[in-house]
Each structure stands twice: as C-alpha cells, then as structure tokens.
Structure 1
Amino acid sequence: MKTKDIKFLDIRHLRGPNMWTYRPVLEAIVDIGDLEDCPSNTIPGYYERLKDMLPSLYEHRCSYEEPGGFLRRVQEGTWPAHILEHVTLELQNLAGLPGGFGKARGTSERGVYKVVVRAWQEQVTHAALHEARELIMAAMEDRPFDVKASVEKLADMVDSLCLGPSTASIVDAADDRNIPCIRLLETGNLVQLAYGAAMRRIWTAETDQTSAIAEGISRDKDLTKTLLQNCGVPVPEGREVDSPEDAWEAAEDIGLPVCVKPVDGNHGRGVFIDLNTREEIEMAYKIAVDEGSGVLVERSIPGSEHRLLIIGGKMVAANRGDVVKVTGDGKHTIRELIDIQINSDPRRGPSESHPLSNIRIDSAARIELSRQKLDAESIPAEGREVLIQRNANHEFDVTDEVHPETAALASLAARIVGLDIAGIDLVVEDISKPLAEQGGAIVEVNAGPGLLMHLKPGVGKPRPVGKAIVEHLFPNNGTGRIPLVGITGSYGKTTVAQIIARLLTLSGKHTGLVCSKGVFFDRRQSETGDCARWEHMNRLLMNRAIEAAVFENGSDTIVGEGLAYDRCQIGVVTNLDVARHTGRHYIETPEQVFNALRTQVDLVLDDGAAILNAKEPMLVDMAPLCDGEVIFFAYDPALPVITEHLEQGKRAVIVRYGQIMLASREGEVSLAKLKDIPLTEGGKNVEQTENVLAAVGATWALGVSPDVMRTGIETFFVDQE
C-alpha cells in the first residue's frame, strides 16, 4: 500500500457562487494514482479503521439518504476522492463549522478527480483537506492518526480566523433575510451588509450608525452619569477622585458601602463594589487608577447587576448577573476549587464561543477573599461557602421579566448618550419592579455590547439579537440590494455590458461596470485591461457611490473563481458556443458547459429576470431554472420559442419590420428603428443587433423608460467613438 498515494494537483478557492453551489468552496484537483484500482472494500480492515477513527461519519447520509449511508458506501466500495470529501467536511464539523456541501466527480483523466467542499474560511478548509488526506492514508496503511489533535488544530484556526459568534449571528440573520454580506477584514469582525449605496457596516455590535461622539461619551462614565442625571435617569451618587485619600473622603461624604471604578474602563476591569473600609477603598483606588484615566467613587446600589440590550430604541434582551461561590471540602485550595467547581463547566472558556468566562483570582476577587480572611491558597473547611465575585457573568436571561418602565428608562439612557446599540448596566433587587420603588439605578452605558450572553445564556431562552440588529439596519423588510446585472455567454458579453451600463447611467443611476475592457464609473474609466475578475467586481460592490452594477462574467471566472455577488436582479446569457469553453479546468462536455453558464441564471432573484437568446436551444433549456421572469430576445420573431412565450403572456424583445419591438401581453411597441442604431449597421450585423436586443431586455426588466433606452442605443456607438 505504501506506493499508493493521494496527491493534490491544484486547489482553487471559488470565492462566490459557482457551477457547484451558491456558496464559496474549495475545489481540489486530486490524483489518486494506483488507488483507482483499489476501492475501499478491497483494502483489508479499512472500513473498520476509518469508522473507529471518525465515528461521527455515521451521521453522513450520502446517496442512501439515511444515517450511516456514507459508511455503507465505504463498506460496499468507494474511491478515495469520495472519502476525502466526507472526511474533510466532518473534520470541519468537529472543529465548529457544522454542515456543508461536498462533491467528488471524476474527470476524463484516469485517477484524477475534482473534490469540492464548502469553505467557510479558505485557510481552515485548506488545512482540513490536508488533515483529511493524512487521516485517510493512515487508515489505509493501518498506522496511527491523532484525530483529537487534528480537530484541536482546526478548532484553533476557526477561533482565530472565522467570524466571532456575535458577528456571525448578525451575518446569519442577514442571510436569512437574503441580504448579501462581504467580510472586509480577513481575520476581523468588520462586515459589510448589502451592496454599493445600500450598504451598512457592522463591527460586532457596532454599526456605521454608531456615533463616534456617543461612543466617546459612553467611555467617560462621569460624563455619562451627568448627562443621564440631567435628564432624570436614576444614577448612583458619586464623584471623580484623584487620590486614595480623596477616595476615602468621597466615600465618607456619600455613605458606605461604595463602588470604586475607572472613569473610562471597560469589561468590568478595575471595578470594586460594596466596599466598607478605608483599607478596601484605598486599595481599590490603586488598582482602578491603572485601568483608566481617572477613578470614580459611587454609592453602592443594593441588588444584582443586570444588562439590558437596547437596539434601535427598543429593549430586545436582558440578563442578570449572579454571585460566584465555591464550597470548601477541607482538601483543596480556593484556587483549585474554582477550577474544580466553576471553570470545569463546559460553558466556560477563553474563546468567543463560550457564553461564560473562566473565573480567575483577580484584584476584585482578592479583596473579596481578604474580607473573609482568606486568600487564593487557603483551604476552606468542608461545607464553608466562599464568595469569589459579587457580580460575575450575566448568566440568567430575564428578558420577559423586565418591568416596562425599566425598559423605557434603559432605552432613554441609550438615546441620551446617542447610541443606536447599547448595553445598559443597572443594579436592582427585582427587575420586575420599577427602579424608583427600590432605589435601583443605571450604573453604565456601554457601546459595542457583547451579544454572546444573549445568544447563549447560561440559564434561560436564547434571544435573536442578530435578527434585531439586521431589522434595525434594514427596516421594513429592506433587502439592501442595488440593481445588479451579470452577463455571460460565448461572445458579445463586453458589448452588452457596456450598453446596459450606458443605459443605466442615462437613467440617472451612478453605475459601475466591470468588463474585459476595464472598470468604469459612469463614463469615467478607473482601470484598464481585462478586469472581468472576482477581485475587481468585489471591490466595486464595496463602493458606496454605486447605485447600479454591471458585470461581465466569462466561463473561466465562473469555473475558476466563482462570482463576486450572491444574487442578481438580471442575468443575461448572450449565446452559447460549446467549443469556446472546453479544454480548461477539466470542462470537456456540453453538459459541463451548460452547468457552468447556468450559474448566471441560477442567481436571478425571484423579482428579477433572466435575459436569454431564443435561438440557442441550450439557453432555452435554462429558462425553467430561473426563479424570476424570463425575457427572450431574438432577431427572428418567427421562432417557435418566441411565439409560445408571447402566447403565454410573457415578454420578449424582437426585430420586426426593421425595428426593435418590445413584445408583451399588451402587444408590440416599437422602440427604435435599426437604421437609427449605428451599432447594428442598419440590422445587417446580426450579432451586434442581438447584443442590442439583450441590453434592451435587461434594462426593460429594470424599468428603464423607452425614451432613455432609445436615446442610449441610438447614440451608443457614436459616443464610444
């Protein structure tokens, strides 16, 4: 077996919709060499070893559409490329990326396969492919493979490279609303929702509507408290202090117990509550002063700390913090008890996927322990409860318990500071009663609040906070889409793209065009050369000035890179000459060419349209694949396809009586005479006439007026010259 191997000839990242699926994938060209003669059922013990190494493969249904289906295929006999697909997906699943699309398909070259797997993040999937190959070869050769270490390696990559759970919840909610997303940083949480002029940006729980001034105010706790107090919002009495001695004087003036905290700290660092002695207060000052630019001393409010999440002026979630205690056993130190009784909870951990943080002996915990005449190395007696933190993780969901007056006050606090999304911290004994009845108060207003506590509360119902943020950014079921036109086919694509862009510009929209002649913004060319590539298209979609976009997509782009957009309003297929598309990327048959070019039709939205050449039988076959309307165009109006289409009350763009006609249920309307359209040479140039028909069909579907279309096509060639 050692002379047999699985080799990667090439691995391509298809970064957008492609001939396989709507989602980004890695397409690996794999050579299994002599293993072509060794299906899995011919290798002694292979099935048992693979199943033992990765028992969760049982959940893969494969072609049998039932649990255990894939393993049954392995037992009956399948090839390494197919196994590579499933093992890669399962390793990603175990690393925290569940589900996913996969395919393994042979090529005309013996032993060479295309293995396609869903790629949430390119580097993670690339590593998973290689780990899967090693696992498969180990199972074949009956040698050890450390699955746990492999999964841990991938999980670490997921934690560092993929979107954090808070940002992912927003992106997933946008995806559910069919709003496109673009990640703007390769390893960060800055994400663009929607395209062009319709875009919004998020950075976890901050948006492009989050004011920098408001964020600055929220960091200054003293200023925040002053603004809230001036507007009648209950806040704790207190003031800023400048020395340990001043902190004690302030505490005496306010009345014990007090809270000491940084003026502009965050995440609870340097915050000490319920301090009663001068020693505690002065010690707390010395720690708090290092966490910010100043220190506040405030009256301690009785009760538990609560976090209310405000989005767009509405409270959408609320959590309550709780005290953290350990119980002595007479054997272990407090530090050890924390690890045994608290940090062993699987919900706790250092990563963003853990809803609860690990508890550590920090300065606040040391003060709590000293109050109890203990330290981290003390061994408490059996049964003795030891308080570690008074307000730890906001573990308990209490959204349904919040009193309406309290929710309204929290919303008011966010508006006073100026935040569209805010985490309002308040202390109260009973969240179901108004603050005024029990002396409760708002103690902090936070910009960019954490969402994980609401997505995965320790106790209680998860709240759809990502959905609430998307609804705030895109109210009234807005999709965040701009008119987007994609053009593919065998020839004429560039001309059609240029005409469509010209007509959209004339209609009053700032239009971006990416084609094989460059990148254009309205009539200005910003880049030259063949720019019909994913990179150029993606950049254009990030331009806030763009109100409409037109993209030329060659088959090489679809097959080798994927498309830059998830869906489009208009998909144009100009024509189809199979020979122009074969011989590259292992595309060798008419069926494969069809599957590549149909991608453009697959992406049309249900309120959009596919513009197809009626004289091409393969393009006519694409019509049923379109989720939206189909508008055929034809130089010959007598084609049976056109006749049938019009009889069904559908639209077409045709040539009749030397004129371009807009044909619909209402009849045929003349748009322009061919003799007035320079590009068509009076209709003698059939190919260019078809290009004009395709462009007219696309802009007609987008609602461009006949007058604008007529002016555009009659002046197009003249303007270009």
Structure 2
Amino acid sequence: MRYCKDCEPAQEIHSIAYLSVVLGWIDQPFFDFMEMIFHSTAEAISRKISIPFFKLMTALRLGYFTDKPDEKDSWRTRCFWEEAERRGIRVREFHLGPIRDAFIAEYLPRLGTGKAGRTIIFDGLPRPGYKESAALKWMDNKGVMKKKFMQEDLPVARGGVAFTQKRALEIFNSIQKPVITKPNLGSRSRHTLIHIDTKEKLIYGFKKAKKLSPLVVVEEELRGLLFRGTLVGGKLVGVVRRDQPEVTGDGVHTVRELLEKENERPERQGPIFHKIIIDPDALVELGREKISMDDIPPKGRVITFSQKTSRGIGGTTTEVTDIVHPDNVEMLERVGKFLDDSLVGVDFIMEDIGKSWREEQHSGIIECNSLPFIDLHHYPLNGRPNNIAGKLWDLVMPESKSTF
C-alpha cells in the first residue's frame, strides 16, 4: 500500500475506498428491497448459521479463532475485550483471511447464582438484541446526517455536498468563510482540509477529498475545540476533548524548546500517545499561525503543529465529562433519541463545553459514528479514565454486572 499523508492515522487504499462507495450506491436499493421482504427471516437465519459457519471455516482451515487481542486489534477492541474478561465474559474473535472484527461473546455465570448463560454474536462492538437502528444506514453519511439534523433543529454547519467542482464552488460562494472540505463518507479526518478561504484552496481541498469519495462535503468551519461524546443506551456517558498536537507558550522558551519538553513526557513514548512530529505540513501550519520554531510565544498562546487531532501524530485527549453544560447533555441525548441507536459517537465543535451550545453562534455537530472509538475515554492523556466499555456491557449483558 502506498503511504498517504492525508490518510493518517490509518491508511486507506484510495481506489478501494472510492469503489466501495460507488458499489454501495448501486447495490443499496436491492438490499433495501430484500431487507423489506425478508428482514425478520434473514435475522433469524443469521443468528442460527453464524456460529456453525465460523466452525466450518475453522475445520476447513480457512478461518480461525483467537481468544486474546493481538497487535492488529485496535485499542477500541482491546478495552471492551479486557472489560469482558473482568466480568467473566469469554470473547473470541473470528478471522477469515484479512477479515476480522467478528466476535462471539459467551457469558457463563457461576454455579449457584441462578443466572442463565448467554451467547451473542456481533461485529466491531456489541449492541443489545438483534434489531438494528434504521439510522445505521445513513449515520456515517455526513451529507444525509446534516439534512436530517437541520430538520430536527440540531446544530450543524451550513453547507452541502458536491459531486462536481462547479457545485463545490457554488456552495463555497454561498456560505461564510473559512470553510472545510472532507469526503462524504469516512472518518478520522482522512483527506480533510480546513481554513479554506480562497477559490484555489477550495479546489485543492475538493480534489483531495475526491480521492476517497465521489461526493465531497463543503461546509462552514465551526469555531472552537473538537469534542467526542459517546452515548450508550441513549444516555451521554462520556465526553473527551480532542486536541491537535500543540504546546502552550510560557513567555520564556522558544517553540522548539517547548516542543522538546513536551515530547519528553513519558506518556508520549507510545503505544497510545506519540511524540509531536515536525514535518513540512507542521511548518506550513506554523506559517499560517505566523510563528517559527525559534520564536518565543507569549504566555498562554497555544501553538498547533497539525490540522488533525490523531494520537498517532501527537494529538491528545482530555476527559471532560464532569464539566459538560446540561444544555449540551440534552442536545447530545436528543441526537441519540433521534438516531434510535444504542451506541453512538458524536463529534462536535464548541469553544467552551461548560457553556450552552445555544450561546455559541458557530458550534455544531460535524459527524456521527456507528462504531465509535470508545478507547478515547479509557486512555485520556489528561483526566480520569472513563470505563465506557463497562457501561456498554452493562447494557448488552446486564447479568454480568455483579460478577467482578
């Protein structure tokens, strides 16, 4: 796979990502029709044949099970797996070639507890029951999400979705600057460009996003900090602030010296958080901020080195659940209620999470995730860890609560 800076922190094969979107457009009407006719039957069949299929593939040596996370499993997988083990839930992951993230979880209560055992099958993260929310079909589609949320009076950035460069420019000319461009489908800020205030930058950002998706989102750039809220069972159970790779001036040391000191922190030596890297993109970002590595920033000034918040390039997380304003809790839980899904990650931008979103003109939701990275709450750089995996297992297998 050819390395792509814009795909950080997780590489994508551009042609496959693009083709998967196109194929989704083509086959979705057929699958929607089949689901409408055979939905309940398909679910029942799936529940009955999945485990026998896994066992058959294993017997034929085409697939295999693992009962511990390995280095290829994400931190999201590791934290819910570790929590399951603490509760006496046995988790196994099925592998078929390069395909993974199919799990079997078995709860076997201790003798004498009077509790019945239970087995569930899931992809990625567990959800209660077998019924899927209808929103799962469009939750990750940023353009569709924007339209639906606007109809529900939920805060989102003004903008639209463009297939052609001409349409992208039309949207650009109709909304407030600066704007951002990003693929209509996808996550983790891949091929996203921010701070766009000229036609030339817009075209560059459009072409960048177009490599991963036929449709490109063009929308106003919201002002503030990036937060991730996670809802389990419709309730907001955690919020983290996600910061770009940055240092804060003290009025004494240069940017270079502040960076060297920050990179010496033990937490930044891996495997979750990493050192801040100075590369050509970082120097461009410093240029945008009109500061150099040898300048001394005034006390309190924040200097950022990237447009992204990925931990792999030096981004950080801070647990802020306890200071979220009640209006923001209510707004996020309205999102969960509207989506009618038991597990949702919501990315939103605000200047101050302790104030109501209604007081901020340029705050809003930027995307929702049906398979959220709950590990962001488990391993914050700053603040107390928040056991979201435990809250999820409480919902999925409540009988396991008192086993540890």
- For the superposition of Structure 1 and Structure 2, which TM-score range results when normalised by the shorter chain? 0.5 to 0.7
Separation of aligned partners in 2, 1:206 and 1:277: 44
What is the 5 A alignment of 1:653-664? none
Q: How far did residue 345 of structure 1 move?
A: 4.7
Instruction: Select which of 405, 408, 416 maps to 2:327.
Output: 405
The SS at the match of 1:159 is coil
- 1:142 aligned residue: none
Which position in structure 1 is the counterpart of 2:71? 159
The 1:210–1:371 alpha-carbon spacing in structure 2 relative to 1, beyond 3 Å, is farther
The percent identity for this pair of structures is 22
Tell me the equivalent position of 1:194.
106
Contact persistence 2:156–2:366 (CA under 8 A): yes
Report the alpha carbon displacement of residue 307 of structure 1 after superposing the two structures with TM. 0.4
Aligned twin of 1:371: 288
Which residue is equivalent to 1:112?
none
User: CA shift at 1:238, angstroms?
Assistant: 0.7
Matched to 2:384, the amino acid is K
- The one-letter code sitting in structure 2 at the alignment partner of 1:457 is P
Q: Distance in 1 between matches of 2:211 and 2:267?
A: 30
> Could you tell me which residue of structure 2 aligns to residue 14 of structure 1?
none
Indicate which of 68, 71, 87 corresponds to 1:177. Answer: 87
Match of 1:233 in 2: 154
8 A Cα contact 1:224 1:417, kept in partner: no
| Cα distance per residue 1:392-450 (max 9 Å; x no partner) | 23511101011222122222223433432111011111111221111221111112111
Q: CA deviation at 1:368?
A: 3.1
Distance 2:131 2:268 in 1: 30
* 1:389 matches 2:301: no
Instruction: Give the C-alpha shift of residue 259 in structure 1.
Output: 1.9
Counterpart amino acid of residue 222 in structure 2: I
Q: CA separation in 1, counterparts of 2:214 and 2:258?
A: 32
- Aligned partner of residue 304 in structure 2, secondary structure: strand
Instruction: Give the equivalent residue in structure 2 for 1:255.
Output: 176
1:471 maps to which of 368, 390, 394: 394
Partner of 2:267: 347
Give the structure-1-normalised TM-score: 0.39
Q: State the 1:460 CA deviation.
A: 0.3
Larger CA Rg, structure 1 vs 2: 1
Size of the aligned set, in residue pairs, is: 313
* Cα separation, partners in 2 of 1:404 and 1:193, compared to 1, 3 Å: farther
Asked whether the equivalents of residues 245 and 276 of structure 2 are also in contact (C-alpha less than 8 Å), the reply is no
Q: What is the SS of the residue equivalent to 2:390?
A: helix
The letter of the residue matching 2:186 is G
What SS does structure 2 have at the residue aligned with 1:199? strand
Code of the aligned partner of 1:219: D
Where does 1:353-502 land on structure 2 (aligned, <5 Å)?
353-355=271-273, 361=279, 368-369=285-286, 371-372=288-289, 380-383=293-296, 387-390=304-307, 392=309, 393=315, 395-439=317-361, 440-475=363-398, 477=399
Q: Is the 8 A contact 1:182 1:191 kept in 2?
A: yes
1:458 Cα offset (Å): 0.7
CA distance in 2, matches of 1:362, 1:472: 46
Identify which of structures 1 and 2 has the higher relative contact order when contacts are C-alpha pairs closer than 8 Å and 6+ apart: 2
Cα 1:387/1:183, change in 2 over 3 Å? closer
Aligned partners of 1:366 and 1:219: how far apart in 2? 32
Q: Compared with structure 1, are the counterparts of its residues 276 and 342 closer, same or farther at alpha carbon in structure 2 (3 Å cutoff)?
A: farther
Q: Indicate the SS of the match to 1:181.
A: strand
- The aligned counterpart of 1:217 is 138
Worse-matched range after superposition: 165-174 or 466-475: 165-174
The one-letter code matched in structure 2 to 1:191 is F
For residue 135 of structure 2, what is the amino acid of its counterpart?
A
Letter in 1 for 2:106: A
Letter in 2 for 1:381: D
Runs of 5+ consecutive residues of structure 1 not aligned to the other structure: 1-120, 125-156, 329-333, 481-604, 606-721
The 2-side partners of 1:195 and 1:315 are apart by: 26
Secondary structure (helix, strand or coil) at the match of 1:316 reads strand
Local SS of the residue matching 2:139? helix
In structure 2, C-alpha distance between the alignment counterparts of 1:449 and 1:257, rounded to whole Å: 28
Shift of residue 202 of structure 1?
A: 4.1
Structure 1 residue 216 displacement after superposition: 3.3
Residue 143 of structure 2 contacts residue 184 of structure 2 at CA under 8 Å; is this kept in 1?
yes
For the residues of structure 2 that align with 1:290 and 1:325, how far apart are their CA atoms? 28
Whole-Å separation in 1 of the counterparts to 2:293 and 2:184: 36
Structure 2 unmatched runs, 5+: 1-65, 109-116, 250-254, 310-314
1-side partners of 2:280 and 2:372: how far apart?
22
Are 2:79 and 2:375, in contact at CA under 8 Å, matched by a contact in 1? no
Could you say which residue in structure 2 is the equivalent of 1:25? none
- Show the 5 A alignment for 1:7-406: 158-160=70-72, 164-185=74-95, 188-194=100-106, 198-205=118-125, 207=127, 209=130, 211=132, 213-325=134-246, 340=260, 345-348=265-268, 353-355=271-273, 361=279, 368-369=285-286, 371-372=288-289, 380-383=293-296, 387-390=304-307, 392=309, 393=315, 395-406=317-328
Q: In structure 1, what is the Cα distance between the partners aligned to 2:290 and 2:168?
A: 24
CA contact (8 A) 1:304 1:391 kept: no
In the TM superposition, structure 1's runs of 4+ consecutive aligned residues that sit over 4 Å from their partners are 186-189, 336-346, 355-363
Relative distance call for 1:386 and 1:316 in structure 2 (3 A) is closer
